[in-house]
Amino acid sequence: MIIITGAAGFIGSCMAGKLNSEGRRDLILSDDFTRPDKELNFIHKACEARVDRSRLFDWITKNAGSVELVIHLGARTDTTEFDSSVFDELNLGYSKKIWTLCARYGIPLIYASSAATYGDGSLGYDDRDNALPGRLKPLNPYGISKNEFDRWALVQEEGPPRWCGLKFFNVFGPNEYHKGRMASVVFHAFNQVTGKAGGPKPGTVRLFRSHRPDYPDGGQLRDFIYVRDVTDVIGFLASHDAPSGIYNLGTGKARTFLDLAKAVFAATGREPAIEFIDTPADIRDKYQYFTEAKMDKLRAAGYSSPFHTLEDAVSEYVGEYLAEGSRL
């Protein structure tokens, strides 16, 4: 059996869907399943059981001999939350317990880290330097919690028989409907273009103005990666004996927010109409202007599949999911 935490959420539910599509039904889905806005992410997924996240540790202890892998994707991901205690409990503390159980019972572990650990990017994006996490300065408590777990994992003398921590860059795609403000820019841009977002200018995409002279408005750069590429990489690592460690998971090619907005307009068959608004004051000094994953380590581990281009991914996401309100 394979355990997926965060199975009601965005990436976790997509991972369950991928495994279902490959014929896997022996899944243990774990999360807080009480939110109605997440129900369609998991209700139709085939599984052996759904286990509330508060009972998962006991479940693993009783059933460890049947578990072949834990894919730990559950986390509090709100970068605008500044109560560190929330992340200490749900991200750092919970992940340490998962690790400890996997080590005790000899279960391989794949877990979600984040590109938010890299902070402003001034120290680069090199996942091959195991000393780097000790020098990084993430810009918010979410990034700090993810980096603290990476640092902790790297110095453990005892761990799972094989483990991979994945620094997700800017992931977008189906099943993020519940994320609200934290949903991808693709999701918000689609709603603005189609008028679903409301506001005074339906059909116009609003992007953050640059507050740095070295970046033009809309010229901020991010490594946007489609969720189907993310689940493909996780599937590869689950079935191949890649070296344990931390891996970047982006495309390796940064693109601008203007590129993204234009791709959404193209996918909806409309001419671009873009305006710029100030970055909210509560995140302005914590805003990343450039992220780009170095992907040499994952490629060296044997992953050779190409990633979706931004344009192809946006076209599929808009045409097959957002326009229909469907899920993966």
Instruction: Tell me the β-bridge partners of 277.
Output: 208
User: What span, in angstroms and rounded, lies between the C-alpha atoms of 231 and 134?
Assistant: 28
Contacts of 312 (CB under 8 A, 6+ apart): none
User: What span, in angstroms and rounded, lies between the C-alpha atoms of 141 and 91?
Assistant: 10
Whole-model pTM? Answer: 0.95
End-to-end CA distance of the chain: give it in Å, rounded: 21
From 2, 32, 20, select the one nearest 178 (Cα to Cα). 32
- Inside any domain, residue 261: no
142 in catalytic set: yes
Q: Please report, for the domain that includes residue 55, its CATH number.
A: 3.40.50.720
- Inside any domain, residue 285: no
Our count of domains for the chain comes to: 1
Of 96, 179, 253, 294, catalytic? 179
- Inside any domain, residue 105: yes
Backbone angles phi, psi at 146, to 5 degrees: -70, -40
- Inside any domain, residue 145: yes
* pLDDT tens-place values along the chain, 328 residues long: 999 999 999 999 999 999 999 999 999 999 999 999 999 999 999 999 999 999 999 999 999 999 999 999 998 766 656 667 777 778 899 999 999 999 999 999 999 999 999 999 999 999 999 999 999 999 888 899 999 999 999 999 999 999 999 999 999 999 999 999 889 999 999 999 999 887 778 899 999 999 999 999 999 999 999 999 999 999 999 999 999 999 999 999 999 999 999 999 999 999 999 999 999 888 888 888 999 999 999 999 999 999 999 999 999 999 999 999 899 9
- Inside any domain, residue 28: yes
Q: At what angle do helices 257-268 and 185-193 cross, to 10 degrees?
A: 50
111 in catalytic set: no
- Inside any domain, residue 44: yes
Show the domain range for 157. Answer: 2-173+225-252+291-307
C-alpha distances out from residue 146 to 73, 90, 113, 179, Å? 12, 11, 6, 19
Of 125, 142, 317, 321, catalytic? 142
